[in-house]
Chains A and B, each alone.
Chain A
Amino acid sequence: MSPKTLYDKIWDAHVAHEADDGTCLLYIDRHLVHEVTSPQAFEGLRMAGRPVRAPEKTIAVPDHNVPTTPGREDPANMTEDSAIQVAALDKNAKEFGIHYYPVTDIRQGIVHIVGPEQGWTLPGMTVVCGDSHTATHGAFGALAHGIGTSEVEHVLATQTLIQKKSKNMKVEITGKLRPGVTAKDITLAVIGATGTAGGTGYVIEYCGEAIRDLSMEGRMTVCNMAIEGGARAGLIAPDEKTFEYVNGRPHAPKGAQWEAALNWWKTLYTDEGAHFDQVITLKGEEIEPVVTWGTSPEDVLPITATVPAPEDFEGGKVEAARRSIDYMGLTPGQKLSDIAIDTVFIGSCTNGRIEDLRAAAEIVKGKKIKDGMRAMVVPGSGLVRLQAEEEGLADVFKEAGFEWRLAGCSMCLAMNPDQLSEGERCASTSNRNFEGRQGYKGRTHLVSPAMAAAAAITGKLTDVRELM
């Protein structure tokens, strides 16, 4: 048998039908659902009189537009249209008999944090969700990607997806990271190197010593942003860390089934000599703490750099850079570490897990946020919030002047009341710095949790290594 990549193996194990032209029906093991991209899909089922084919494999949680302040279970505290979407999810979950975590449930949170936390996400699975950051689950060696609403309906009705196989890309991060450099810096540095379209048509497998050294939380951060590099999915081969993370979770296999699962999971790696259509290698030692300066995630530079000039680019990017620099209110040549920040947001499915909060708290401990700074921590799930409270992290944040919120997507996409106002500048641990993403004319700089914490203290983008 010819050697296979990890992606090949998972793909092959899930093809339910293959047409002559190579179009496949890929069987889906887990379907995650949230309130924004699903109402039209359920409506479609209802109109066609179709049931959900595998309700036991379908999990729903409201996260995108729920408020993160107390009293949010009362629809009166939501905008009318948010309340309509959440109510629709409530109704659809009940009517179609799928697993559901309402806002009142301590396990509620961002869909991509809840899935792994509850053991729904397991190695070797296919996982989809009507949300592009489904790539997060690739950290477990699961083939996970975002889909549109029509595809949500397709998966609900048939438990399959019409797919053609992507190409294989290997992204290797060799060696060790230096202090102050995190998983977020890796994933941003990769996008900086490939561009936001560099991964289009590929599934990426991340490997190398620096990836192996990451915790599961860190690996989820890396895979989360595979989509920002344009890839369909990101994958990391499961290892002992993965198995240890999964073991004992509510929906993970137990007893003899655990043993059987483990046996299969241990075969999930790329064979020696397997073919990759593209290979990218970065040296771990050379990655620095990075920030974005523009309005595309590929606009990445080390914090020690300066704002570029449009003329530094080529082709269509010249105009895009000019527009970005103007939108962001920056001047070419300005030092990135001189950019003053109004708001700090720590949270999202990229960086809303316990390890992220620990890393931020480590920097914040015993200090106060800069006068006039708005800073908030939004844990990725109710359980992350609880754990952070038990570990004393919540107190560290509160004493420093941070707001301590309930779980949800919050200012990552600002569909709930957490938004930037016009011209407000934010250091954010989320994943997108698009125009208007965090609020109309809001300005976003993407950073790691430690870098966000540093900015909250000093009031400007800051090299976290100066505070360590």
Chain B
Amino acid sequence: MDKFTKLTGIAAPMPLVNIDTDMIIPKVFLKTIKRSGLGVNLFDEMRYDREGNEIEDFVLNKPAYRNAEILVAGDNFGCGSSREHAPWAIKDFGIKCVISTSFADIFYNNCFKNGILPIVLPQEDVDKLMDDANRGANATVTVDLENQTITGPDGGEISFEVDAFRKHCLLNGLDDIGLTMEKSTSIDAFEETAAQARPWV
């Protein structure tokens, strides 16, 4: 997995609430058996018309945001299906950090598995960053995971919370499966006890 340490980039504003995974990556693109290549179809139905032409006023089509690496979004981002194609598409597009007041549970988990940092902030901080993001390419935002801070274009600093274990994994690009396998004696022991207690499972 790619490491996430410090990111300085353009933030794109998407104030819509309840952006669901069907919007992030419509189901027609779920038929792949690969993880890569979904970036061109990120937000497909909002981004392109039926003929495949870009819809000009969609945020990621605007010149200022075509290289956005941070997304500032409305409440409950990523609700809906469990499809990991959503974070795969976001990552493939080049976005590495999503900021909102709240995320859907499965989406939030899926981000960490793919080297994306989802950040939950209070409404007023999100509003502030949404304003910054609205200023376009002239304004970059810096996300520092080590110090858990976000620095806006005017230098104002916002701090954020992140689970210590997940932070450690992101900073070091650690693969969950490898880490869990180091605990295989615990799993073996659990299986043995459980087989006694609940042999029907």
Contact = CB atoms under 8 A, between A and B. Distances in A.
Interface stretch (B53-61, B75-83, B134-142, B149-157): B75-83
A437 interface: yes
A316 B106 contact: no
Given A85-B33, A317-B17, A435 B176 contact: no
A432 B83 contact: no
Nearest to A84: B33
B23 interface: yes
Contacts of B22: 432, 434-437
A257 interface: yes
A29 interface: yes
B180 A196 contact: no
B52 interface: no
A76 interface: no
B187 A157 contact: no
A201 interface: yes
A40 B33 contact: yes
B24 to A, nearest CB: 11
Contacts of A242: none
A67 interface: no
A23 B165 contact: yes
A65 interface: yes
Contacts of B186: 16-17, 25
A196 B177 contact: no
B16 A320 contact: yes
A151 B113 contact: yes
B45 interface: yes
Contacts of B23: 434-436
B74 interface: yes
A34 to B, nearest CB: 11
Interface string B112-139: 0110000000000000000000000000
A316 B84 contact: no
B35 A40 contact: yes
B27 A440 contact: no
Contact of B199 (A19, A57, A150, A260): A260
A436 B26 contact: yes
Given A25-B180, A435-B22, A147 B15 contact: no
Interface string A43-72: 100001010000001000000010000000
A261 B30 contact: no
Given A16-B186, A148-B113, A200-B102, A316 B17 contact: yes
B105 A65 contact: no
Nearest to A80: B31
A37 interface: yes
Interface string A311-330: 00001110110010000000
A260 B113 CA distance: 39
Interface in A370-412: none
Contact of B201 (A122, A162, A201): A122
Interface string A220-236: 00000000001110000
B82 A150 contact: no
B198 to A, nearest CB: 7
* Chain A interface size range: 35 or more
Contact of A434 (B17, B80, B113, B163): B80
Interface stretch (A98-106, A124-132, A453-461): A124-132
A339 interface: no
A36 interface: yes
A149 B45 CA distance: 23
B165 A148 contact: no
Interface in A115-172: 122, 124-125, 130-132, 145-151, 153-154, 157-160, 162, 164
A414 B104 CA distance: 23
A21 interface: yes
A315 B101 CA distance: 13
A25 B187 contact: yes
Given A81-B31, A317-B17, A413-B27, A154 B180 contact: yes
A79 B20 CA distance: 26
Given A130-B82, A158-B177, A162-B180, A40 B34 contact: yes
- Residue of A124, A196, A253 contacting most chain B CB atoms (<10 Å): A196
A88 interface: yes
Contacts of B197: 13, 264
A113 B24 CA distance: 28
Q: Top 5 closest A-B pairs, CB basis?
A: A253-B200, A81-B31, A150-B113, A39-B33, A16-B190
15 contacts: A21-B164, A23-B165, A25-B187, A122-B200, A149-B110, A158-B187, A160-B187, A196-B79, A197-B75, A200-B104, A200-B105, A230-B105, A319-B16, A436-B23, A440-B45
Given A147-B82, A158-B184, A197-B104, 19 more contacts: A13-B194, A13-B197, A16-B189, A16-B190, A17-B183, A27-B187, A29-B201, A36-B31, A148-B84, A148-B87, A151-B113, A154-B180, A158-B187, A197-B18, A200-B102, A231-B105, A320-B16, A436-B23, A440-B26
